[in-house]
Structure 1
Amino acid sequence: MPIKLGEMLVKARLVTPAALDDALKSQVIFGGRLGTNLIEMGCLDEEELARMLSRQLRVAYVDPRELMEVPPEVTSLIPAEMAESYRLVPLRLEGRRLSIAMADPSDLPAIDEIAFRTGYVVQPMVTPEIRLIAALEKYYGIKREIRYLPVSKELGGRRVCSYQATPADVVAASPREVVDFSALAGSEADFYPWSGEGGETTRAEALERCGVDAVSRELADARDRDAVAAALVGWGASLCERAALCVVAGEMVKGWEAYARGERLERFGELRIGLDESSVFQAVVRERGIFLGAAPDTPANRRLFDSLGGAPRGVLLVPLVMKRRVVAVLCAADAPDRLGAGLEQFRSIARKGIMAFEILILRNKILMT
């Protein structure tokens, strides 16, 4: 059995077991490869990661300077859509041999496809994901996510995630609440907008549709972070006009998944709000609190509402807290009384969402060792 990257890094004493646990947590919440998360956390530098990837995969690693200085006649050998689809950059052409930089040089179908499309013999080489994404942006104009902005020592490092790992560190969101609304009163008919005028059958169907049991099963069965996000937002959207999930990375809130009136908002992932900006996220993240009510009219809040399809009557933000740190925020937009009536359900689902993330973390630990 091939040795896992995390195990190799620990054996080489490049990272501690605690740092590896931290990186696995970060990977589940924020995505990306394990090495990328270790670099972002400041636990590993780019060159160390490249050397270990080379040892693990038994292929040569790319000199970062060469990757960032590929001549146009070489990059033109691979079209942009192929480079983006397979996440690779051509390096050099020597006779009939084309060397390419990949984050995953074990992707044999991709290598075969490149060889077939170009007519060259392909020699894969490995490079850290974070460097490859910078090269894809440089040569093909493929915009990178904000999390992939320069983090290596050479490029001016930063630290995004700072967990203090323990095997069981999930903390339920039980902070001081930040509430801004005049009344929470509301009937079940108000809360379930598709229910009839008191018809028991229709109400029962609505309750079943919105039931916590159904989303609990989805969260328990989730196989990746996006499945967790889809379950949380899908449940919220079944109760409210609009629902969304944002991830909190460092000092930035980033859109992840959102639905408005039953339709997925494709561009919600472009949302970025800094925690230094005046917004509803500030108190929620800083104080690990809940916001419920009308949001102040600020530029940051307007960006949030625009990304959700317009200014709502009221908003509810519930933090997902791990190790006393907000890693994501479950959002809903609707009438304040309707949101207030569902407050406890949203809190319960947020706790279940954190448990689902923890299950994924434990699964990754099992696979990593």
Structure 2
Amino acid sequence: MTNPIKSALCASFLALTLASPNIAASPAFAVETNAMIDVTQTSFHSEIIDGIRIAYREAGDPAKPTILLLHGFPTSSHMFRNLIPELAANYHVIAPDYPGFGASDMPLAEEFDYSFAKVAEMMITLLDRKDVNNYAVYLMDYGAPVGFRMFAQHPERVSGFIIQNGNAYEEGLREFWDPIKAYWAEPSTENGDALRGFLGMEATKWQFTHGTQNPDAISPDNFWHVQYLLDRPGNQEVQLAMFLDYGTNVAEYPKWQALFREYQPPTLLMWGKNDHIFPADGAHPYKRDLNNIEFHLLDTGHFALEEFGINIAAGMIEFLDQNTTP
């Protein structure tokens, strides 16, 4: 017996097909497009250096001048996520993660030399692998001693500094640093344990929000992803190793200052003046040694890009356009 429902459906489909012959007759086809890849789009890569996978973000045309972005504590290249596309339209941008940070490998503290000298050496190797022999460098927090150590090894490679809350003068190491200085003087378990409070969620959130004009506008994505990385088993020991080694940078300050005076790299300083970690006391001394310096204090805190990203990007582009040879 014929199924009346099935017959009705078949009749309806046949009527629709006859009424719209192009639907049935048109073959499937692919549309070819000549749209160009957006050079400002960030891509994610890694290099194995000394057996450690170093992750980095990259954007822009490698044939154009390179800008190296060096992150601070406790973040990663993630802090540059919005800045990179702004720069990449006219520049080649590289933003690495240090060992133990971001998407890079995190060997245990007892199995790796967590030192600023080692990180600087690895960053030089990364640039060598990328065939980058000339670059401007954005220095922030930990990025300052990493970048200045790179500068000390190859000053002729650095076309300019963009300095944002990164220290090279003892005037910038105020009371916040007292418990860390105690650890440098006596690296005991007790003095190390006293610093673990810097590695909890409240301290992480404080670093991003303290000194800002509008703390509610700071994306909590910053705290969540940073704290996830800090809470990995073994990472606190990594951070304590870096806290301890930071003291070796202070001994290098006079050398870096002498190199500033000798090579006079063009410098754009854009500093969050409300930063309790690196206060503006550490910003002003750069004017003693650098003759070609553009100096700005911004009404924000430690991670100035979170509130003044648009201003910093615009200032950087103008500065780079004036001081970078295509």
Considering the TM-score relative to the shorter chain, is it more than 0.5? no
Report which of the two structures shows the higher radius of gyration computed on alpha carbons.
Answer: 2
Range of TM-score over shorter length: under 0.3
TM-score with structure 1 setting the length: 0.21
TM-score with structure 2 setting the length: 0.23
